[in-house]
Amino acid sequence: MLKTLAKRLCVPGLLLAGISTACAHGEKALEPFIRTRTIQWYDVAWSDPKVKVNDEVTVTGRFHVAEDWPVGVPKPEAAFLNMSAPGPVFIRTERSLNGQPWINSVALKPGGDYEFKVVLKARMPGRYHLHPFFNLRDAGPVTGPGQWIEVGGAAADFSNRVTTLTGETIDMESFGLANGVLWHGFWMAAGLAWLLWWVRRPLFLPRYKQVEAGREEGLVTPLDRNLAKAILVAVPVVVLGANALAQSRYPSAIPLQAALDRIEPLPPQVNTGAVEVKLRKGEYRIARREMVLSAEIHNRGTQPVRVGEFTTANLRFLDPQVVGAVDADSLTAPHGLSVDLPAPIQPGETRQLRITASDAGWETEKLDGLIRDADSRLGGLLFLYAEDGQRHVASVSAAVIPRFD
């Protein structure tokens, strides 16, 4: 009962050690400067979270690649967008970036804007927390906003049939399974047999004594030598023979692809220049769990604008005066944002603004660790809204200084 409750409420393993399964899966593992200043996710949307086995779940969203990419993090020259899920409970049937089919890793451009779409098909019934996440080569996984998905139905109903380029329909759940098991079994048996051949004889000490006594010739018998010669010939013959057999049985095959996909960023969606935002500094008030950002905002547009949201590492701080009422969840603070001069910023105006983002999320999402990092810079996306609803997004960053009082 308690275990189910703990699972349902997603209580961190630490609080209910022993009875709860920890439900986080690395969202908070990376340093805050990586989570806030590499991939900046926004507008992530999910299709219906209640599905049955064989149904599809579609995830769409956008991300901005931060200009202020941390100097200690390798540049995103090979990045792969995946979905984090507890095991093979879904299969991925489609993935695109900026509308282009996307199979391999891609090089992302700092400052670039991208739009992704991933289609999943439910494979096993259960309740799972899914996230889109980026695997950045040599840096680690940067996780996007998650969603609980409930899969109903029966696992036995799952079907994953595809038609190959030669027109044959195969079942991906079992295709080649027997062949794979056979070859694994064969090589394991061969390796184990050779190991046993030597292990069954007296081992270290008797052999050591024989070597010490100068009789090491007797350690390897003529039968050992002949067997070794036979293996030396048989293994390459089996490998090459099986390879030739596979080639002749499947003459038209496409090898696994190792190249990078080349997909250019969209025309700028973030930092378009219509509204220019510069952060002078950030100050984190530990006791109040609030970040105060000192910004200089220059409105180059034709409409007055107001700051409505600050998003960093999937935490959203909103000003209800600007964006209206929004449902709260553990990552959304519907009243978390305020500014010291709330009047709209007029066209042509430059204003010094203090933006305050306060919520316990700074602590629960382990972003407050920023102040103990060697790179204490924070990044994020600032959303500004014009009277007519038009949205301007700015990718910002600033050094953060803690305040302990």
Tokens, residue 348: 């042509």
d(CA 317, CA 339): 12
- Contact letters (x/-) for Cu ion, 146-165, by CB under 5 A? x-------------------
Residue 362 CB, nearest distance to Cu ion (Å)?
18
Q: Where are the alpha helices (DSSP H) in 130-215?
A: 177-199, 204-212
145 touching Cu ion, by CB under 5 A:
no
144 touching Cu ion, by CB under 5 A:
no
Local structure of residue 218 (DSSP, 8 states): G
Local structure of residue 240 (DSSP, 8 states): H
CB atoms within 10 A of CB 272: 15
Q: By C-beta, is 127 or 129 nearer to Cu ion? A: 129
The stretch among 116-124, 142-150, 157-165, 237-245 that binds Cu ion (CB under 5 A) is 142-150
Residue 84 CB, nearest distance to Cu ion (Å)?
7
d(CA 149, CA 47): 10
Q: Is 352 exposed, middle or buried (0-12, 13-18, 19+ CB in 10 A)?
A: exposed
By residue count, the chain amounts to 405
344 touching Cu ion, by CB under 5 A:
no
Q: By C-beta, is 146 or 334 nearer to Cu ion? A: 146
Residue 10 CB, nearest distance to Cu ion (Å)?
8
The stretch among 143-151, 227-235, 236-244, 315-323 that binds Cu ion (CB under 5 A) is 143-151
**What does DSSP say about strands 56-65 and 39-46: parallel, antiparallel, or unpaired?**
antiparallel
Q: By C-beta, is 129 or 391 nearer to Cu ion? A: 129
d(CA 176, CA 156): 19
The stretch among 91-99, 144-152, 185-193, 282-290 that binds Cu ion (CB under 5 A) is 144-152
The stretch among 6-14, 38-46, 145-153, 312-320 that binds Cu ion (CB under 5 A) is 145-153
Give Cα 371 to chain centroid, integer Å: 24
Residue 143 CB, nearest distance to Cu ion (Å)?
8
Residue of minimal CB distance from Cu ion? 129
Tokens, residue 103: 């199979």
Residue 401 CB, nearest distance to Cu ion (Å)?
31
117 touching Cu ion, by CB under 5 A:
no
The stretch among 56-64, 109-117, 124-132, 270-278 that binds Cu ion (CB under 5 A) is 124-132
**Sole binder of Cu ion in the list 129, 300, 335, 351 (CB under 5 A):** 129
141 touching Cu ion, by CB under 5 A:
no
The stretch among 57-65, 117-125, 139-147, 242-250 that binds Cu ion (CB under 5 A) is 139-147
Give Cα 81 to chain centroid, integer Å: 6
- DSSP three-state, residue 251: coil
Residue 141 CB, nearest distance to Cu ion (Å)?
12
**What does DSSP say about strands 332-333 and 315-318: parallel, antiparallel, or unpaired?**
parallel
Residue in 145, 175, 122 with CA at minimum distance from that of residue 60 = 145
Q: By C-beta, is 129 or 137 nearer to Cu ion? A: 129
Instruction: Tell me if 335 sits within 8 A of 320, measured CB to CB.
Output: yes
The stretch among 10-18, 121-129, 278-286, 361-369 that binds Cu ion (CB under 5 A) is 121-129
Residue 276 CB, nearest distance to Cu ion (Å)?
35
Q: Where are the alpha helices (DSSP H) in 108-161?
A: none
Torsional sign, CA 245, 247, 250, 256:
positive
The residue count for binding Cu ion (CB under 5 A) is 2
Tokens, residue 197: 């051949």
Q: By C-beta, is 133 or 383 nearer to Cu ion? A: 133
Q: By C-beta, is 129 or 289 nearer to Cu ion? A: 129
Give the residues lining the site for Cu ion (CB under 5 A): 129, 146
